[in-house]
A = this chain, B = another copy of it.
Amino acid sequence: MSKENSKNQILKAAMKIFVVNGYSNTKMDDIADEAGFSKGAVYHHFSSKHDLFFSLIDYWETSFLPKFYSNDYSNVSLVNVLKELASEVASNFKNKKYLFLAELEIWALSNRDVKVRERTKKLYNKMLSHLENIFSNAINDGEYKNIDPGMAAMAVMTSMQGVIWFSIFDHKNFTAEQYVNEVMNFIINGLKKTSIEMTN
């Protein structure tokens, strides 16, 4: 098996185990077993448990919202962009729920480890500036006024992160999909008025 194949196999296994057991309760042996390798093999590809988890953040980033990042949004309406984002998040919840639990685990480790935190900050800065650009464009086009694009980006991001809560606890009346879509509609409606205002 090729080197990259093996590494990916291990990363996939690590994602699965880390998400279920958390960082500290995850044994390198478990990851090795799940990947179909020995512990020696895992340490051949990754220098330490920490290194392996660190690599998982890259893996997470490329898996989470590929459509959202790849699309060229310059000539698509803000509303459609946001609705597509919501649907990508909802689809992730349906098919890759582990992504949200992984996000939780990344948060937990970010709170303890500076390197992990800095890496993750970079990830969120990218997400936020992407959203901010989209809002800025829409504002420049004269479609929406009096909104602070940075704050709007935060509002969207944290709303989508609400799905983390769903991943852990569920809701007796709503599905995560309903939540995501309705909250996004709520945001969209709010944007059409003068809701999130400039703060200077």
Shortest distance in angstroms between A129's beta carbon and chain B's nearest beta carbon?
Answer: 11
Shortest distance in angstroms between A34's beta carbon and chain B's nearest beta carbon?
Answer: 17
- Let me know if A185 and B174 touch, CB within 8 A: no
Cα–Cα, bound, A104→B172 (Å): 22
Give the nearest-CB partner of A171 in chain B: B154
Q: Which B residues are CB-close (under 8 A) to A105? A: 108
- Let me know if B182 and A186 touch, CB within 8 A: no
Cα–Cα, bound, A190→B192 (Å): 10
- Let me know if A155 and B168 touch, CB within 8 A: no
Shortest distance in angstroms between A5's beta carbon and chain B's nearest beta carbon?
Answer: 30
Q: Which B residues are CB-close (under 8 A) to A173? A: 150
Give the nearest-CB partner of A109 in chain B: B22
Give the nearest-CB partner of A110 in chain B: B168
Give the number of residues in A that approach B within 8 Å (Cβ atoms).
53
Shortest distance in angstroms between A165's beta carbon and chain B's nearest beta carbon?
Answer: 6
- Let me know if B169 and A165 touch, CB within 8 A: no
The answer to the question of A87 belonging to the interface, with a C-beta cut-off of 8 Å to chain B, is: no
Q: Which B residues are CB-close (under 8 A) to A158? A: 158-159, 161-162, 165, 179, 183
Q: Which B residues are CB-close (under 8 A) to A159? A: 155, 158-159, 162
**Quick one: CB contact mask for A3-25 with B, threshold 8 Å, 1 for yes?**
00000000000000000111111
Cα–Cα, bound, A111→B157 (Å): 22
The answer to the question of A189 belonging to the interface, with a C-beta cut-off of 8 Å to chain B, is: yes
Cα–Cα, bound, A179→B151 (Å): 7
The answer to the question of A136 belonging to the interface, with a C-beta cut-off of 8 Å to chain B, is: no
- Let me know if B161 and A182 touch, CB within 8 A: no
Q: Which B residues are CB-close (under 8 A) to A169? A: 110, 117, 120-121, 124
- Let me know if B168 and A196 touch, CB within 8 A: no
The answer to the question of A63 belonging to the interface, with a C-beta cut-off of 8 Å to chain B, is: no
10 tightest A-B contacts by CB? A158-B162, A24-B24, A190-B190, A189-B195, A108-B108, A186-B195, A186-B196, A111-B168, A110-B168, A150-B173
